[in-house]
Copies of this chain bind each other. A is one copy, B any other.
């Protein structure tokens, strides 16, 4: 229950540094590696010789060598050579459109002829020296939509992340959800409140007093299939909030790419992009570590929520105003899935004949 004709984040470049990476994405077993001229390639993780996973092998001269009997696979899914064999008649394996961009490897698990790299979202912060990025990856046993819900309703911060970014003022400020084409935005602004510990640190990191009242904002943006970018920040109270001058605020973008592995498991790429002190690598690392700790607090809730839902498949959940972001995001996802299914069906007229 996920769109397949779309770009997902498959991995980060360091994961295919000098070795192939096997990863299941949308239930497809795929191996990623650097082929000719170090260009990233993605093919089925299945050697046509005897079915061993190609990801157990190694890369040599841009070819993926099977670690069992040495079949050499090219980026085009065709066997290029094998010791002692003529390989011309060997069956090819499936390739997947794959692009390296903005610091990520993107894969298109659906029909290859529909893949257009222009559809990969533009990440301005990834291409500018004014910004720094740090992030990580979690493997979580839940439906990818539960993670979207999680990120579009930040009232959970008060409970799940009580000691870092949570505060009761989040619950008290009603969010506003808007749909604009395929983009869903849920915004919340809080005024004249104390900064919670994570943001006190960020203020300090930006040479601002952490102990005075702040205005705080959270602007969650969903785009299909499952990307959620969240503008977050605090400004000294009364300086303009979200629109305050850079010297009065600490702001950043929470970056979330959620890639379905199966119907009930995900690869969750999380991170934070910031445009203050972008060259300060120690700060990047300390933010990354803090965020990693905070985001790990969601894992148990999500996995236990998933188990509960599997045991009660018939039960309807509530759709409150705080859930509007996730609800709208699911509508867009459902529409995309329906479109893919409709395209797979023969047209009505031909069936009527």
Task: Identify the A interface with B (CB < 8 A).
Answer: 29, 45-46, 48-53, 56-57, 65-70, 83-85, 90-91, 149, 153, 155-156, 158-160, 168, 171-174, 300-301, 304-305, 308-309, 311-312, 315, 317-318, 320-323
Contacts and interface: CB of A to CB of B under 8 A. Distances in A.
Contact of A67 (B51, B159, B168, B323): B159
A304 B52 contact: yes
A176 to B, nearest CB: 13
22 contacts: A29-B308, A46-B308, A46-B312, A46-B315, A49-B317, A51-B305, A51-B308, A51-B315, A52-B308, A53-B308, A56-B300, A57-B159, A66-B159, A68-B305, A69-B156, A70-B155, A83-B158, A83-B172, A84-B171, A85-B320, A90-B318, A91-B318
Nearest to A66: B159
Task: Give the copy number.
Answer: 3
A66 B159 CA distance: 8
Given A300-B56, A304-B56, A308-B46, A70 B317 contact: no
Contacts of A85: 320-322
Contact of A68 (B69, B160, B309, B312): B160
Contact of A155 (B53, B69, B174, B315): B69
Given A83-B168, A83-B171, A90-B318, A309 B70 contact: no
Contacts of A317: 48-51
Contacts of A45: 308
Contacts of A309: 51
A48 B323 CA distance: 13
Contacts of A52: 301, 304-305, 308
B48 A318 contact: yes
A309 B301 CA distance: 34
A323 B52 CA distance: 14
A153 B69 contact: yes
Contact of A311 (B29, B56, B65, B301): B29
A273 B110 CA distance: 53
Contacts of A320: 49, 85
Given A70-B159, A90-B318, A301-B67, A172 B51 contact: no
Contacts of A301: 52, 56, 67-68
Contact of A53 (B69, B84, B304, B315): B304
